[in-house]
Chain A
Amino acid sequence: MPAASMPPAPTSAGDPISEFFASLAAPGYIETFAGESATLRFDVSSGSKMQHWYLTISDGHVTVTRDNDPADAIVKIERPHLEDIVRGRLNAQAAMLRQVLAVEGSMAALMMFQRCLPGPRGSTGRVAPISSQTVMAQRRPM
């Protein structure tokens, strides 16, 4: 089973957030964003410190800057949570429901952005078959 067509997960060396955004910008074009255009600004807070990443998606072409400019979607999040998200430890939609990730502006832009996030590390897409005998043993008879 082939891996999903997405950028490689960042390595743990260095800052995972910087590496994640760098990995988005490096190829210049990301297939999963084909036909899509939006701007997203990530306001990442760590104590009193605030960092910005500004993502421009233009028909699949991706650029990343550190600008603090207006964007279609402004994503507010604390650093540890975003680290978890880019490492596949926290699901972005769940993070939003849990209120550790807040969005101002276009929800659709955030939804689209989520396509490039990695899945959980241990997920293989595979599972061992289960025999009819096992199923019958687990289930009560008729």
Chain B
Amino acid sequence: MSDQLVQILEGNTFVVSNDCGDIEASRTDPTGLFSFDTRFLSRWVLTVNGQRLTALSTDDLQYFQTRFFLVPGSGTVYVDAKLSVIRQRDVADGFREELRILNHESKPVDLTIRIEAASDFADLFEVKDALKKKGSYDTKVADGNLVLSYRRESYTRETWISSTAPAQLDEHGLTFAITVPPHGEWSTELDVVASAGAEDGSTSGPIGIRGDGHRHVRQDMARGLEKWLRRAPSVECDWEAVEHIYRRCMTDLAALRFSTLTLPGRALPAAGLPWFMTIFGRDSIFTSLQALPFTSELASTTLMALAERQGTRIDDFRDEDPGRILHEMRYGEMTAFEERPHSPYYGNADATALYVVLLDEYERWTGDTKLVRDLERAARAALNWIDEYADLQGNGYVSYQRRNAKTGLENQCWKDSWDSISYRNGDLPGFPRATCELQGYAYDAKVRGARLARHVWKDTALADRLEKEAADLKRRFNRDFWVEDGEYFAVAIDCDGRQVDSLTSNIGHLLWSGIVDKSKAKSIARHLLGPRLFSGWGVRTLAEGEARYNPIGYHVGTVWPFDNSFIAWGLRRYGFRDEAAAIMAGIMEAAEIFDGRLPEAFGGYQRSSTMYPVQYPTACSPQAWSTGAPLMLLRTGLGLEPQGDKLIVDPALPLRMGNLELLDLPGRWKHIDAFGRGRVDTDRFTRR
């Protein structure tokens, strides 16, 4: 994947190609044009006189636009530079590619330009699992279009290909027989449209894919991006990398914006490029929380979109219950035929409580009580889910166990890989499992729900009840989850009521939620910044010394920037200013090394032993909540906390930051500037 490029529209249409712009999908090479979780081109290969091309340079002009400078010949030693080929590709409802051939000789040249095109119409799930298709394919040439199509019963997907210059079309592609004058140029525009079939004559297909197969109107993407960046607060910092990281994050967030058909013109954050360009309850909520000080639009859209799709019934295939917030939404063939449960799938145990947390935090920043009133039904249903449906063991704790044993998710917390929750000795607990951070989120949801009930919904009885329940949950939790001999909280309570006793980063989320007794917080902070959990860059998912610890294990030893950003917030909440600044320093220094774009996770190796953070090999970049991590760290570093109509600024920044200014922070105070100066010497934590 190293030499592949990804382009994207602020929807879920994207192209993955090689550095020449060619697409040649195979089982091991997931390239293609994808839209709504379906591959619309699996082959798109350009040749000149039968020869493949070599890339001289490839420029990502914007996240939705790439230019490829090519020359004929695939030789690595010598390239014949009498011709230049420039492909510029813009992704929209498919893509549009401008192809230019430049003749550098003083005589005319006759050329045969050929584009081979084909599509396997694979569902993203099929690409991952290499499954066979059940429908049939067809290819036709009609009215200057090459139309590739796939049909299974009434399910139809089509790729329409056309060009502005006259071409010979056949079932496998387009051919141009051209003459390029001396020192002259030839060009054409190739248009590829992803369509859901035209038979019902509607202008938009059933899922937002265009139904008419006609040429799309190119959106003014560049202007949209500029406007997004202009509207965002600006950052000035003596440590210049911070400004670069900030700009990178805001640009990546723009690329990750995703619109639903029910809320046109509004955007929420999708989870990651390219494979997770869809709504994920947990990821969209966490990213919206991280971005709140900079933009509240992502949060409001997330809250609305998740409410629209909130669970209303018992559906074991989808792990759906009334009030539950969705986990993942998909649009491909396997979801359409109910071979996968993602229409949507509800298997998570955290997003429902986090939904209430986001709603409250959104109101605290924006003062938008109208939305809180509009979403009262959804928020009440979410609060009800915690008590009514999530207490699988009848012990007063939120637990999870999938009811769809075939295609459902085993671990329904953010650490969702199979081995993420283990005892010290490496054994895995049974199901249901009540992981600790779920109790923290539930506690926070009740506390915040009570605030909304009291001040916005004017329901004192509900507020009183929620506060009482929260206090009771906190009391029980600090008793039942506390690992006496380690002085931290167990990662989970298993199905026999036993503590799953390994030391994990989850304890940091507990600080964020506020469920930790003050008397126990110091011990938690000591562990988080201690040698077993803190690598010098950040807090490891699983502590060194636990049986399953592996510095490059997905959830069992790597450092996750998103995780750390919430841990830093938690540390600030309990007054551990220096410790929060240390995490900020470590993660921002890692971000600088990764050129502003933090990966999903990086190795948990001791900082002094590797010098550089080692990226965890992952197919998704940028990842939304990694993109949001520096934003949240800026917030925690400056100690930004809304209080009534004021924004409290209480900086605790790493020394190296120097002066930091966030200008024009939007909120209920209209706009405000926040300043801070780095005074915390974080080296004692990070340089060891």
- Name the contact of A120 in the complex, choosing from B261, B315, B377, B405 (C-beta under 8 A): B315
Contact B316 A111 (CB under 8 A): no
How far is B388's CA from A97's CA once the two chains are assembled, in angstroms?
31
**Across the interface, do B548 and A142 meet the contact criterion of CB distance under 8 Å?**
yes
| A123 located at the interface, meaning its Cβ lies under 8 Å from any Cβ of chain B in the complex | yes
Residues 239 to 277 of chain B near chain A (Cβ within 8 Å): 261-263
> Smallest CB-CB separation from B316: which chain A residue?
A123
Contacts of A112 in B (CB 8 A): 308
Q: Are A131 and B495 in contact (CB under 8 A)?
A: yes
Contact assessment for A98 and B336 in the assembled complex, using a CB-CB cutoff below 8 Å? yes
The total of Cβ contacts below 8 Å across the A-B interface reads 135
Binds B, one of A19-27, A45-53, A62-70, A132-140: A132-140
Chain A residues, Cβ within 8 Å of B156: 99
A142 to B423, alpha carbons, bound, how many Å? 12
- A11 CB–B CB distance under 8 Å: no
Is A124 an interface residue, CB under 8 A from the partner?
Answer: yes
Q: Does B182 contact A (CB under 8 A)?
A: no
Given contacts A103-B206, A129-B401, contact A119 B315 (CB under 8 A): yes
Q: Is the CB of B427 within 8 A of A4?
A: no
B429 located at the interface, meaning its Cβ lies under 8 Å from any Cβ of chain A in the complex? yes
Assess whether A125 is in contact with B495, with CB atoms less than 8 Å apart. Answer: no
**Whole-angstrom distance between the alpha carbons of A93 and B494 in the complex?**
35
Whether a CB of chain A sits under 8 angstroms from the CB of B207 is yes
Within 8 A of B (CB), among A16-70: 32, 34-35
**Binary CB contact string for chain B from 310 to 351 against chain A (1 if under 8 A, 0 otherwise):** 001111111011100000000110011110000110000000
B197 an interface residue at 8 Å Cβ cutoff? yes
B316 close to A131 (CB less than 8 A): no
Q: How far is the CA of A135 from the CA of B433 in the complex (A)?
A: 12
Contacts of A94 in B (CB 8 A): 335-338, 343
Q: B154 in the interface, Cβ–Cβ < 8 Å? A: yes
B401 nearest in chain A by CB position = A127
Do B431 and A135 touch across chains, with their CB atoms under 8 A apart? Answer: yes
A2-B388, A130-B401 given as contacts; is B313 within 8 A of A99 (CB)? no
Considering only CB atoms, which chain B residue lies closest to A3 in the complex?
A: B314
Chain B residue nearest in CB terms to A32: B312
Q: Is the CB of A98 within 8 A of B320?
A: no
Picked from A107, A111, A132, the residue with its CB within 8 Å of the CB of B427 is: A132
| Contact A99 B316, beta carbon cutoff 8 Å | no
Is the Cβ of B308 less than 8 Å from the Cβ of A111?
A: yes
> Given the complex, which residues of B lie within 8 Å of A117, measured CB to CB?
312-313
A13 in the interface (beta carbon within 8 A)? no
B430 and A120 within 8 A (CB): no
CA distance A2 to B313 in the complex (A): 11
A4 touches B312 (CB 8 A): yes
B196 at the interface (CB under 8 A from A): yes
Instruction: Please give, as numbers and ranges, the residues of chain B lying within 8 Å of A4 by CB-CB distance.
Output: 312-314, 322
Nearest 8 interchain pairs by C-beta: A97-B336, A119-B313, A119-B315, A108-B262, A123-B316, A93-B343, A98-B336, A132-B430
Chain B residues close to A by CB (< 8 Å): 153-156, 196-197, 200, 202, 205-207, 261-263, 308-309, 312-318, 320-322, 331-332, 335-338, 343-344, 374, 376-377, 388-389, 401-403, 405, 418-419, 426-432, 494-496, 547-548
A-B contact pairs, 10 of them (CB 8 A): A5-B322, A6-B312, A94-B343, A98-B154, A99-B196, A114-B312, A115-B312, A127-B403, A134-B430, A142-B547
